[in-house]
């Protein structure tokens, strides 16, 4: 499989707000930040390893606006697609917003992704998101709003605000990881989804690389997604590990629902899990992992039907 190399880049875990649903933060979470010179060196190395897209995410990247601008400029120099994911705290007035969005655009940012939800908006005014979206339109900077939802009625008015203001948004399911781990699940009204997953790798401020940016170290029993540390492995070696892992290929192409059947889960059980929860059930269990490994080795072709 020929894959385009892309990664989430966690420059810092620091955030200026504390959303109740945050996947990136448990209560005992410790804040880390990468050294700027080191971060630039890693992007140099990524360019050499043919990485084509970098998404600056984790925490709130624009707390470190000047550092991120410098990293975005470096991406531009190498022709790497760059994205910044932000909660929009800085977009307090149209004038302030225009200043920052124009700087991001001039520096070469490819896309701004604005996080929005009833949990974010307990800390950041809805108008900030509108200011940021409208400023992106004004400066022709590609953007979209990531509307995180648990699909409950409570979210309707938040979505209506986006519809009324004619901004570009896409719903994104709430992940029941981190602080959201204890939330009550709303009933999911859907049929039997294949649960394929694109799996974006992520580099953390401590220079660990994981195969999935949403899971990271949440799979502590098996360390299933951990690829290694940049101090030990080259960027090219870490991407190779990611690209050559047979299970990661199966998650992308066969999907978690079929893998769960092969691991012995009944259909009535599979439909009870959301995608990431099913992934955790399957791969954060040494027993299931061993079972799947044995099945993969002994039943060639069983993955297709």
CB of 20 to ligand SF4, least distance (A): 9
Q: Quick count: other Cβ atoms within 10 Å of Cβ 147?
A: 21
Q: Are strands 202-203 and 208-210 parallel, antiparallel or unpaired?
A: antiparallel
CB of 110 to ligand SF4, least distance (A): 20
Among 2-10, 18-26, 71-79, 164-172, which window interacts with ligand SF4 (CB under 6 A)?
18-26
Residue keyed to tokens 């938040």: 158
**Contacts of 293-300 spanning 24+ positions with Cβ under 8 A:** 295/262, 295/263, 296/246, 296/247, 296/250
Please pick, from the candidates 43, 60, 91, 227, the single residue that binds ligand SF4 as defined by CB under 6 A: 60
Among 149-157, 211-219, 235-243, 292-300, which window interacts with ligand SF4 (CB under 6 A)?
211-219
Nearest one of 94, 116, 84 to 17, comparing CA atoms: 116
Is 113 an interacting residue with respect to ligand SF4 (CB under 6 A)?
Answer: no
Cα dihedral 97, 85, 147, 284 in deg (nearest 10) = -160
Is 196 an interacting residue with respect to ligand SF4 (CB under 6 A)?
Answer: no
Nearest one of 218, 209, 226, 83 to 146, comparing CA atoms: 83
Is 88 an interacting residue with respect to ligand SF4 (CB under 6 A)?
Answer: no
Is 276 an interacting residue with respect to ligand SF4 (CB under 6 A)?
Answer: yes
Among 1-9, 33-41, 258-266, 275-283, which window interacts with ligand SF4 (CB under 6 A)?
275-283
Please pick, from the candidates 8, 24, 203, 227, the single residue that binds ligand SF4 as defined by CB under 6 A: 24
Please pick, from the candidates 197, 207, 250, 263, the single residue that binds ligand SF4 as defined by CB under 6 A: 197
Q: Where are the beta strands (DSSP E) in the chain?
A: 5-10, 51-57, 81-86, 111-116, 142-149, 169-173, 202-203, 208-210, 226-229
Distance CA 116, CA 17 (A): 13
Is 83 an interacting residue with respect to ligand SF4 (CB under 6 A)?
Answer: no
Q: Are 214 and 175 within 8 A, CB to CB?
A: yes
Residues contacting ligand SF4: total by CB under 6 A: 21
Cα maximum dimension of the chain: 63
CB of 303 to ligand SF4, least distance (A): 17
Is 209 an interacting residue with respect to ligand SF4 (CB under 6 A)?
Answer: no
**Where do contacts with ligand SF4 occur on this chain (CB under 6 A)?**
15, 17-19, 22, 24-25, 59-60, 87, 115, 120, 197, 199, 212, 214-215, 251, 275-276, 279
């Amino acid at each position: 499989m020929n894959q385009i190399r892309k990664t989430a880049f966690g420059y810092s875990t620091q955030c200026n707000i504390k959303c109740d649903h945050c996947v990136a933060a448990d209560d005992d979470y410790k804040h880390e930040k990468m050294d700027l010179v080191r971060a630039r060196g890693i992007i140099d190395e990524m360019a050499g390893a043919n990485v084509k897209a970098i998404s600056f995410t984790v925490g709130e990247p624009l707390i470190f606006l000047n550092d991120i601008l410098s990293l975005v400029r470096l991406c531009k120099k190498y022709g790497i697609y760059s994205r910044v994911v932000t909660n929009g705290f800085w977009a307090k007035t149209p004038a302030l917003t225009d200043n920052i969005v124009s700087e991001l655009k001039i520096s070469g940012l490819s896309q701004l992704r604005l996080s929005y939800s009833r949990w974010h908006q307990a800390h950041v005014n809805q108008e900030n998101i509108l200011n940021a979206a409208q400023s992106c339109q004004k400066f022709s900077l590609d953007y979209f709003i990531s509307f995180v939802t648990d699909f409950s009625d409570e979210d309707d008015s938040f979505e209506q605000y986006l519809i009324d203001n004619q901004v570009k948004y896409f719903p994104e399911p709430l992940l029941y990881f981190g602080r959201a781990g204890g939330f009550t699940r709303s009933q999911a009204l859907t049929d039997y989804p294949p649960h394929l997953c694109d799996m974006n790798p992520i580099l953390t401020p401590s220079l660990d690389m994981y195969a999935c940016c949403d899971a990271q170290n949440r799979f502590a029993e098996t360390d299933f997604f951990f690829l290694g540390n940049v101090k030990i492995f080259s960027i090219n070696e870490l991407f190779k590990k990611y690209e050559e892992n047979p299970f990661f290929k199966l998650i992308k192409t066969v999907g978690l629902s079929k893998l769960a059947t092969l691991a012995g889960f009944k259909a009535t059980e599979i439909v009870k899990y959301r995608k990431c929860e099913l992934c955790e059930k399957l791969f954060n269990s040494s027993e299931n992992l061993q079972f799947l490994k044995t099945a993969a080795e002994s039943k060639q072709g069983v993955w297709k039907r």
